[in-house]
């Protein structure tokens, strides 16, 4: 389960941000997980809830925004959000596309005390 190593990095990042902002604890963690990131949101939440104890995140609530795939069509230059795993432009059906969002996982923000 690679979610464990992701949670370790996430908690480390939270601890660094808390220290940099003279905070005693993190109360909320907001992340964005792309559907193509290879991260399973439910497993990530379970891993976070399991490993947050004895850290600055012990009382933190993890909020996950699942990001759909957003593409830019190189043919018609229109942007669209994919509803299915069909990687073509929803306007002109071209497969000459660039993926703009939905591949990464980001720490978006923290609430600190």
Mean pLDDT, consecutive 10-residue stretches, the chain (113 aa), reads: 87 97 97 94 95 96 97 97 88 95 95 96
Q: What is the dihedral of CA 86, 89, 93, 94, to 10 degrees?
A: -100
pLDDT score at 108: 97
pLDDT score at 84: 83
Q: What are the structure tokens assigned to 32, written together?
A: 């964005």
Which residue ranges form the domains of the chain, and what is each CATH number?
A: 3-112 (3.30.2320.80)
- Contact criterion met (CB below 8 Å) for 80 and 71: yes
E-state strands within the chain = 26-34, 61-67, 70-73, 79-81, 97-101, 105-112
Query: What are the CA-CA distances from residue 23 to residues 17, 57, 68 (Å)?
Result: 8, 11, 33
pLDDT score at 48: 97
pLDDT score at 2: 77
Q: What are phi and psi of 110, to 5 degrees?
A: -130, 150
pLDDT score at 58: 96
Residues 6 or more apart whose CB falls under 8 angstroms from that of 99 comprise: 36, 69, 70, 71
pLDDT score at 1: 52
């Amino acid at each position: 389960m690679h979610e464990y190593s992701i949670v370790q990095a996430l908690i480390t990042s939270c601890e660094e941000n808390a220290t940099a902002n003279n905070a005693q604890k993190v109360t909320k963690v907001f992340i964005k997980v792309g559907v193509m990131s290879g991260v399973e949101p439910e497993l990530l939440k379970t891993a976070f809830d399991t490993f947050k104890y004895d850290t600055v995140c012990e009382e933190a609530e993890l909020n996950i925004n699942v990001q759909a795939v957003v593409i830019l069509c190189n043919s018609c230059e229109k942007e669209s959000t994919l509803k299915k795993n069909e990687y073509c432009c929803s306007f002109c059906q071209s497969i000459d596309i660039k993926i703009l969002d939905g591949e990464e996982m980001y720490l978006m923000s923290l609430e600190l005390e």
